[in-house]
């Protein structure tokens, strides 16, 4: 496979600069492609430390068509020079030396300014409505069917003389949906204690287990029945996704719960659990923010808390005015975002019709780097 | 209970049975839908086909049990191809939990062709450091693997005696469930001009097409469909090829079940109104 | 040797499948084996891939700040284990508080970077864009963009909590839930193929590796 | 104080620091997220001990009280012990139990763990069929749309060239016609009846052209559903989840939401 030799041509220009928005120790090298880029095997970047006369060291290489290389693990404050070696087959050609560049660390990530502005405005809204709540302004929240059904499910299960099964999913205590699930668990536990029903909570994560133990105990205390609390019913199964599913399936068919709650983070095991729960005739209330699993919960369970409804649950169930106020702030933020969409859509449409690239400024402002 | 009621309330066990039969029958009966193999799979096949006997092919197992349904059939079919063509096979991997899967396939197919360990094939195992391993393989294989997985020095294995770096490896086959494939292209192809064929899960494969278009890999096998194509090309029908009809049958079964359920539902609702 | 192991694997596979008919001693056995061995498996995994490299090896290899900062996670770990001693079990809350705080912090940054800002940007679509010379194609393209925007906005209105869904809001949220249902149906249908692949793998194992019928 | 206030302060500080870290690339914030993650992984590794204690105690009690299935509980404890001992034994012998020459990886992982995991996972093929059959009923307009979207996407994914989808469309349209006739018979008003019967006739007539052209375009229709309405709704849900998640996180950081601490 001998092709006629092609002479490697160096890249026409090389530029080096401190990598922006980083913790220091990094320089970005940029170049224009070699005129023979289509046959280039790779671009190898060489680094010279301290002075243009220093010994060149290979810093790394990239594939053809690439114009950028980030050189890491450098010393902040030191001066570096670069050149790019263009490889064609076993031949190479070196570019001229780049300008000197000095790596340093930055204190603000300019690529994330839009995120900061959004966070500040949204945070301001949240604080504003928290203050409103402190001044005692009543807040309305629409009915959420899945949450209305919680008490009913516990009641019906008790009537049938069956225990209640609460499945907190396979999330960790650092997952927000798991914390939302614990808030729902507290309500379920309280109701169960009122009805003197048994509640079983099998766990995937040991920390969630300890938190769940505390939550159930608290729920029983609030109902005035700490005597009924049995810590042995809140236990750990296994940290294996499908092992957990196998174990919970076993609990379902043997304990025959009358009500099954599937709340928290779920992955593929969601349908295994929900179908088994359906097969034993339990009332099932599910909720998750894992969008890929929602279709299966919708299909196989009686009530489903979709995404954000789950986060609203703790406020909804506790009717705590402070929590409710954050939901009001969420709603105002939604209107704000819709307004932003409309402005963006208008500007983008104008840009597309007039061909005026400047009109993209609004959309571009939201880019994250 | 009339017919409509039955249609609306088919027992789930009957559905399970139908699903099981829908998968078992096409596999056992070796039903097949002959489809034209995708071009990128044929390309991979031909690259291996044209290697002279004795050439060395290095397999890299870069997946684990979760991607087994898609990637294991590819591995088996490609190994079959290599051993049948009397090529020498080396195997390594970057995902420690996937290595036993690779090893099982290697032993199985080697046995089928009565190949001898150490002479016709060797299992190198795993070394930490993805990029470092790839780069050092280009310098000296012995720097990375001085022994095989059992601790036998590579110099005492005839299959490895003349293998020192990528120059001695005709084709590298990477089976990918993650981003390791990109690293192979970057380090082995760009740096050392190694010929690479990648097999990937249906999720990963779209990310690898640009390499194929740029000529940086010489073949791409994507998902169960790709595996089925390769099995068809080497004429060893395996789970992928035999599974293709099962896929279609289950889809049809589900649609028919939905239709039946709705027919029963509407008929009952009508009955209820009377 | 491997034949025996293949029989074990096949036995466990069949035992799990038997659950589809109904709960039975075989499934129970396989389930208990699975739960018990997987609990141990993940402990070993965490030990060799997390605790050992990130704590023990790091302690040996690092120096100075990077070494001594490792005392923090070590103390947090010990705090967690105080749950074994009821009198001081409350100390574990400090460690739980750290993990929860971390989750909450990541909850904010992840939602901002990963979801909110990119999705907001992606929704800013032109409602008329001459991408092709064919007016019909442009019309279709614009209609798609309009549907994307409409679906996104109405779905957001479905999650509007602080007002009753009546009147205009009621209409919008109804359109929103319609989009959501279509989306759920579509992703359900999309997933079936992947799930069938899994079953093909198991059936092939039984008939090929175990029974050698195929 | 020690039991309630300090945990709230710890939560506040660790949460706020991570939010700052998003905007500050400079040390020590730049790699804070990574560092916290490492710490978290270490801590969660140790808490596995709590989990194992809970699991073993649960089953030990079942054995002690000779409860139903105590035999299986014993099997669980034996399986646990064997796995643990085997894993660490392999670890000591070859340095790491996940090394290819470790018998733990070669036998336990390959012939016990993987088959159990894969088989449990594969049950989904059965459950997805039974769930679809039971749940996809055209009860309301939304339920109908859900059903139609599911069926179209499903058929759009069937590999081309099998001819199966053509046959299927025939079946589907005949079924639709029968359904419409049945539906029409249940209606009282003449206009509704006419509509239903007309629809039935149309769907029978449509069989030939649709069977001929539709399978070719079905994958495109399926893609369209995935790329337009599906994506739109998902975006709306994501934005809601993001806003709700930020609010919930802030409630936690500020100590308003503290269910987990009680």
For chain B, domain boundaries:
3-28+246-273, 39-236
Instruction: Judge if A216 and A164 occupy the same domain.
Output: yes
Cβ atoms of residues C116 and C152 within 8 Å? no
Instruction: Judge if A246 and A358 occupy the same domain.
Output: no
Structural domain includes residue A5: no
Q: Do A63 and B190 touch (CB under 8 A)?
A: yes
Q: Which of A119, A207, A292 sits opposite C187 (nearest CB)?
A: A292
| A-contacting residues in D 131-190 (Cβ below 8 Å) | 131-132, 134-136, 146
**Is the pLDDT confidence value at A1 over 50?**
no
For chain C, the C-alpha Rg in angstroms (whole number) is: 28
* pLDDT value at residue B274: 43
More confident residue, D195 or C208: C208
Token pair belonging to A354? 């007039």
Instruction: Judge if A176 and A117 occupy the same domain.
Output: no
Give CA–CA dist A327/C162, Å, rounded.
7
Strand, helix or coil for residue A261: strand
Cβ atoms of residues C120 and A339 within 8 Å? no
Instruction: Judge if A260 and A293 occupy the same domain.
Output: yes
Residue B203 touches partner A, C-beta closer than 8 Å: no
Cβ neighbors of D237 (< 8 A, separation 6 or more) are A291, A294, A306, A307, A308, C155, C159, C180, C183
Cβ atoms of residues A65 and B214 within 8 Å? yes
- Pairing, β B88-93 against β B56-62: parallel
State CA D150 to chain mean position distance: 17
Whole-angstrom CA distances from B4 to B10, B260, B267, C199, D151 are 10, 9, 6, 31, 22
More confident residue, A72 or C183: C183
Homologous superfamily in CATH for domain B39-236: MTH777-like (3.40.50.10160)
Chain A residues within an 8 Å CB radius of B186 = 62-63
Instruction: Judge if A302 and A162 occupy the same domain.
Output: yes
Give CA–CA dist D27/D44, Å, rounded.
26
Q: Do B255 and D182 touch (CB under 8 A)?
A: no
Residue C190 touches partner B, C-beta closer than 8 Å: no
**Is the pLDDT confidence value at B256 over 80?**
yes
Instruction: Judge if A314 and A327 occupy the same domain.
Output: no
Instruction: Judge if A278 and A356 occupy the same domain.
Output: no
Q: Min CA distance, C186 vs chain D (Å)?
A: 5
Structural domain includes residue A101: no
Q: Stretch A60-64: mean pLDDT, rounded?
A: 82
Cβ neighbors of A1 (< 8 A, separation 6 or more) are none
DSSP state of A139: -
Q: Stretch C53-67: mean pLDDT, rounded?
A: 91
Residue C61 touches partner D, C-beta closer than 8 Å: no
Residue numbers of chain D with a pLDDT score lower than 70: 159-169, 186-187, 210-212, 214-215, 262
Q: Which of C19, C39, C48 sits opposite D91 (nearest CB)?
A: C48
Cβ neighbors of A207 (< 8 A, separation 6 or more) are A172, A173, C80, C96, C99, D44, D47, D50
Whole-angstrom CA distances from B129 to A175, B96, B136, B144, B180 are 30, 12, 10, 10, 11
Instruction: Judge if A65 and A24 occupy the same domain.
Output: yes
Chain B residues within an 8 Å CB radius of D117 = 65
Q: What is the pTM of this model?
A: 0.91
**Is the pLDDT confidence value at C130 over 80?**
yes
Structural domain includes residue A41: yes
Give CA–CA dist B105/B236, Å, rounded.
14
Task: Among D93, D96, D133, pick the best mutation site for testing chain B contact (most B Cβ within 10 A).
Answer: D133
Structural domain includes residue A241: yes
User: Which value does ipTM take for this structure?
Assistant: 0.90
Q: Stretch B264-269: mean pLDDT, rounded?
A: 77
Q: Which of A176, A249, A328 sits opposite C19 (nearest CB)?
A: A249
Domain that holds residue A20: 14-94
Phi, psi of D182 (to 5 degrees): -60, -45
Instruction: Judge if A252 and A306 occupy the same domain.
Output: yes
Token pair belonging to D249? 């996180």
| C-contacting residues in D 164-203 (Cβ below 8 Å) | none
Strand, helix or coil for residue A27: strand
pLDDT digits (tens, 9 = 90+) for D154-164: 888 776 655 66
How much of chain B, in percent, has pLDDT values that exceed 90?
57
Q: Which of C73, C114, C144 sits opposite D43 (nearest CB)?
A: C73
Beta strands, E only, B213-252? 219-222
State CA D233 to chain mean position distance: 18
Any chains having at least 3 CB pairs less than 8 A from chain C are: A, B, D
pLDDT digits (tens, 9 = 90+) for A120-173: 999 999 999 999 888 887 888 999 999 999 999 999 999 999 999 999 999 998
Structural domain includes residue A4: no
Q: Min CA distance, B244 vs chain C (Å)?
A: 9
Instruction: Judge if A206 and A252 occupy the same domain.
Output: yes
Phi, psi of B68 (to 5 degrees): -55, -45
Instruction: Judge if A32 and A88 occupy the same domain.
Output: yes
Q: Min CA distance, C57 vs chain D (Å)?
A: 12
A21's torsion region: left (phi>0), alpha (psi -120 to 50) or beta? left
**Through-space distance between the first and last CA atoms of chain C, rounded to whole angstroms:** 22
Cβ atoms of residues A119 and C112 within 8 Å? yes
Q: Do D100 and B96 touch (CB under 8 A)?
A: yes
**Is the pLDDT confidence value at B269 over 80?**
no
Phi, psi of A88 (to 5 degrees): -125, 115
The dihedral over CA atoms of A288, A223, D8, A179, expressed in degrees to the nearest 10, equals: -10
| A-contacting residues in C 22-81 (Cβ below 8 Å) | 22-23, 27-28, 30-32, 34-36, 38-39, 41-42, 80
- Pairing, β A283-288 against β A303-306: parallel
Any chains having at least 3 CB pairs less than 8 A from chain A are: B, C, D
Phi, psi of B147 (to 5 degrees): -135, 165
DSSP state of B151: S
Q: Which of B13, B16, B239 sits opposite C200 (nearest CB)?
A: B239
Give CA–CA dist C139/A98, Å, rounded.
49
Q: Return the half-sphere exposure (C-beta side, CA atoms, 13 A cut-off) of residue D107.
A: 15
pLDDT digits (tens, 9 = 90+) for B148-186: 988 889 989 999 988 999 999 999 999 999 889 999 998
Quote the crossing angle between the two packed helices D229-253 and C92-110, to the nearest 10°.
140
Cβ atoms of residues B241 and B214 within 8 Å? no
DSSP conformation letters of C73-120: HHHHHHHHHGGGSGGGGGGHHHHHHHHHHHHHHHHHHHIIIIIIHHHH
Give CA–CA dist A200/C136, Å, rounded.
60
Quote the crossing angle between the two packed helices D190-205 and D207-227, to the nearest 10°.
100
Give CA–CA dist D164/D169, Å, rounded.
9
* pLDDT value at residue C210: 95
Which residue has 């643990």 as its token pair?
D84
Q: Do B257 and D175 touch (CB under 8 A)?
A: no
Q: What is the domain count for chain A?
A: 3
Structural domain includes residue A6: no
| C-contacting residues in D 4-63 (Cβ below 8 Å) | 6-8, 10-19, 21-22, 33, 35-36, 38-53, 55, 59
**Is the pLDDT confidence value at B270 over 70?**
no
Which residue has 């939560």 as its token pair?
D11
**Is the pLDDT confidence value at C103 over 70?**
yes
- The rounded mean pLDDT for chain B is 90
Contacts 24+ apart (CB under 8 A), A334-343: A334/C156, A334/C157, A334/C159, A334/C160, A334/D239, A334/D240, A334/D243, A336/A121, A336/A125, A337/C120, A337/C156, A337/D239, A337/D243, A338/C153, A338/C156, A340/C120, A341/C120, A341/C123, A341/C124, A341/C149, A341/C152, A341/C153
Whole-angstrom CA distances from D261 to B223, C100, D6 are 46, 10, 11
Q: Do B68 and C201 touch (CB under 8 A)?
A: yes
> Omega into D28 within 30° of 0, i.e. cis?
yes
Range list of H helices, chain A:
113-134, 145-159, 176-194, 206-222, 241-255, 269-279, 294-300, 308-318, 321-354, 361-365
* pLDDT value at residue A367: 85
Q: Check which CATH number belongs to the domain holding A58 and give it.
A: 2.60.40.10
pLDDT digits (tens, 9 = 90+) for B194-230: 999 999 998 889 889 988 988 889 999 998 989 999 9
Token pair belonging to A203? 């766990």
Strand, helix or coil for residue C161: coil
Closest CA to C194 of B243, D233, D207, B154: B243
Contacts 24+ apart (CB under 8 A), C66-70: C69/D35
pLDDT digits (tens, 9 = 90+) for A238-283: 999 999 999 999 999 999 999 999 999 999 999 999 999 999 999 9
Longest dimension (CA), chain B: 87
More confident residue, A42 or C35: C35
Instruction: Judge if A177 and A188 occupy the same domain.
Output: yes
DSSP conformation letters of C122-156: HH---SS---SS-HHHHHHHHHHHHHHHHHHHHHH
How much of chain B, in percent, has pLDDT values that exceed 70?
98
Phi, psi of A21 (to 5 degrees): 55, 45
* pLDDT value at residue D27: 83
Which residue in B has a C-alpha nearest to residue A275's C-alpha?
B12
Structural domain includes residue A7: no
């Amino acid at each position: 496979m001998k092709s006629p030799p092609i002479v490697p041509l160096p890249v026409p220009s090389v530029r080096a600069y401190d990598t922006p928005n980083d913790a220091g120790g990094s320089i970005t090298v940029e170049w224009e492609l070699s005129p023979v880029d289509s046959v280039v095997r790779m671009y190898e970047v060489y680094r010279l430390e301290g002075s243009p006369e220093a010994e060149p060291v290979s810093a790394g290489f990239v594939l053809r068509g690439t114009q950028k290389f980030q050189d890491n693990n450098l010393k902040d404050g030191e001066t570096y020079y670069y050149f790019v070696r263009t490889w064609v087959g076993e031949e190479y050609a070196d570019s001229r030396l780049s300008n000197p560049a000095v790596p340093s660390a930055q204190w603000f990530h300019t690529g994330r300014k839009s995120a900061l502005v959004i966070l500040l405005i949204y945070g301001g809204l949240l604080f504003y409505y928290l203050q409103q709540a402190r001044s005692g302004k009543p807040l309305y929240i629409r009915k959420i069917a899945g949450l209305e059904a919680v008490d009913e499910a516990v009641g019906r299960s008790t009537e049938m003389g069956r225990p209640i099964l609460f499945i907190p999913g396979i999330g960790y205590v650092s997952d927000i949906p798991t914390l939302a699930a614990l808030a729902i668990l507290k309500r379920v536990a309280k109701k169960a204690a009122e009805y003197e029903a048994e509640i079983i909570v099998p766990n995937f994560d040991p920390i969630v287990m300890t938190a769940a133990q505390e939550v159930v105990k608290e729920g029983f205390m609030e109902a005035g029945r700490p005597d009924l609390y049995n810590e042995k019913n809140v236990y750990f199964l296994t940290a294996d996704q499908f092992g957990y599913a196998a174990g919970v399936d076993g609990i379902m068919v043997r304990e025959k719960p009358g009500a099954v709650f599937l709340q928290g983070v779920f992955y593929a095991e969601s349908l295994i659990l929900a179908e088994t729960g359906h097969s034993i005739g339990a009332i099932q209330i599910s909720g998750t923010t894992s969008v890929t699993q929602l279709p299966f919960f919708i299909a196989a369970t009686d009530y489903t808390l979709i995404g954000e409804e789950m986060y609203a649950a703790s406020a909804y169930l506790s009717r705590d005015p402070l929590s409710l106020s954050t939901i009001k702030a969420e709603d105002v933020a939604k209107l704000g975002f819709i307004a932003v969409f409309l402005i963006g859509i208008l500007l983008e449409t104008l840009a597309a019709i007039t061909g005026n690239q400047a009109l993209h400024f609004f959309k571009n402002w939201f880019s994250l780097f | 209970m009339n017919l409509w009621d039955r249609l609306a309330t088919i027992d789930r066990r009957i559905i399970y049975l139908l699903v099981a039969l829908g998968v078992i029958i096409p596999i056992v009966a070796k039903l097949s839908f002959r489809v034209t193999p995708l071009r990128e799979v044929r390309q991979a096949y031909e690259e291996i086909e044209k290697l002279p006997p004795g050439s060395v092919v290095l397999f890299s197992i870069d997946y684990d049990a979760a991607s087994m349904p898609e990637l294991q059939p590819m591995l088996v079919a490609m190994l079959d191809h290599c051993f049948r063509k009397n090529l020498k096979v080396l195997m390594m991997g970057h995902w420690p939990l996937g290595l036993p899967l690779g090893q099982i396939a290697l032993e199985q197919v080697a046995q089928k062709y009565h190949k001898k360990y150490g002479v016709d094939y060797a299992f190198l195992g795993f070394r930490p450091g993805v990029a470092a391993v790839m780069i050092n393989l280009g310098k000296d294989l012995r720097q990375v693997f001085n022994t095989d997985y059992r601790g036998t020095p590579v110099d005492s294995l005839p299959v490895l005696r003349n293998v020192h770096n990528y120059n001695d490896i005709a084709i590298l086959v990477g089976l990918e469930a993650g981003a390791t494939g990109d690293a192979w292209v970057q380090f082995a192809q760009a740096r050392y001009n190694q010929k690479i064929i990648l097999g990937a899960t249906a999720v990963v494969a779209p990310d690898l097409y640009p390499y194929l278009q740029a000529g940086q890999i010489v073949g791409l096998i994507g998902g169960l469909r790709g595996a089925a194509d390769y099995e068809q090309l080497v004429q060893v029908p395996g789970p992928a090829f035999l599974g293709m009809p099962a896929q279609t049958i289950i889809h049809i079964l589900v649609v028919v079940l939905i239709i039946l359920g709705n027919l029963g539902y509407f008929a009952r609702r009508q009955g209820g109104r009377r | 040797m491997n034949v025996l192991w293949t029989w074990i694997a096949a036995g466990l596979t069949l035992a799990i499948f038997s659950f589809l008919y109904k709960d039975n001693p075989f499934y129970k056995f396989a389930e208990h084996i699975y739960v018990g061995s997987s609990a141990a498996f993940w402990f070993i995994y965490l030990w060799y891939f997390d605790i050992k490299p990130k704590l023990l090896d790091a302690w040996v290899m690092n120096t100075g700040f990077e070494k001594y900062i490792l005392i923090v996670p070590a103390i947090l770990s010990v705090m967690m284990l105080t749950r074994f001693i009821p009198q001081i079990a409350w100390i574990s809350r400090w460690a739980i508080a750290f993990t929860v705080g971390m989750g909450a912090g990541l909850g904010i940054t992840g939602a901002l970077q990963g979801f909110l800002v990119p999705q907001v940007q992606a929704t800013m679509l032109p409602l008329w864009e001459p991408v092709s010379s064919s007016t019909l194609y442009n019309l279709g393209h614009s209609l798609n963009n309009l549907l994307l925007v409409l679906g996104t906005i109405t779905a957001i209105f479905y999650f509007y909590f602080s007002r009753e869904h009546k009147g205009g809001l009621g209409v919008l949220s109804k359109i929103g839930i319609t989009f959501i249902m279509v989306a759920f149906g579509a992703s359900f249908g999309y997933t079936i193929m992947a799930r069938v692949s899994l079953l093909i793998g198991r059936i092939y194992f039984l008939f090929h590796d175990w029974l050698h019928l195929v | 104080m020690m039991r309630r206030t300090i945990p709230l302060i710890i939560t506040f500080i660790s949460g706020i620091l991570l939010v700052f870290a998003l905007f500050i690339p400079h040390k020590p914030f730049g790699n804070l997220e990574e560092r916290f993650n490492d710490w978290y992984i270490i801590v969660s590794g140790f808490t596995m001990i709590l989990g194992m204690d809970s699991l073993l105690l649960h089953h030990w009690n079942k054995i002690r009280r000779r409860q139903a299935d105590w035999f299986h509980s014993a099997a669980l404890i034996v399986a646990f012990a064997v796995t643990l001992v085997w894993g660490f034994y392999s670890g000591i012998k070859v340095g790491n139990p996940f090394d290819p020459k470790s018998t733990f990886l070669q036998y336990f992982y390959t012939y016990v763990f993987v088959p159990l995991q894969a088989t449990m996972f594969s049950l989904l093929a059965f459950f997805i069929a039974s769930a679809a059959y039971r749940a996809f009923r055209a009860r309301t307009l939304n339920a109908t749309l859900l059903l139609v979207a599911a069926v179209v996407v499903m058929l759009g994914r069937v590999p081309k060239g099998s001819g199966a989808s053509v046959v299927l469309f025939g079946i589907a349209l005949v079924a639709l016609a029968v359904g419409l006739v049945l539906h029409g018979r249940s209606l009282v008003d003449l206009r509704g009846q006419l509509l239903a019967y007309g629809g039935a006739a149309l769907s029978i007539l449509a069989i030939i052209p649709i069977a001929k052209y539709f399978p070719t375009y079905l994958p495109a229709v399926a893609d369209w559903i995935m790329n337009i309405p599906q994506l739109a709704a998902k975006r709306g849900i994501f934005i809601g989840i993001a806003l709700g998640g930020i609010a919930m996180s802030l409630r936690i950081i500020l100590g308003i939401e503290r269910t987990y601490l009680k």
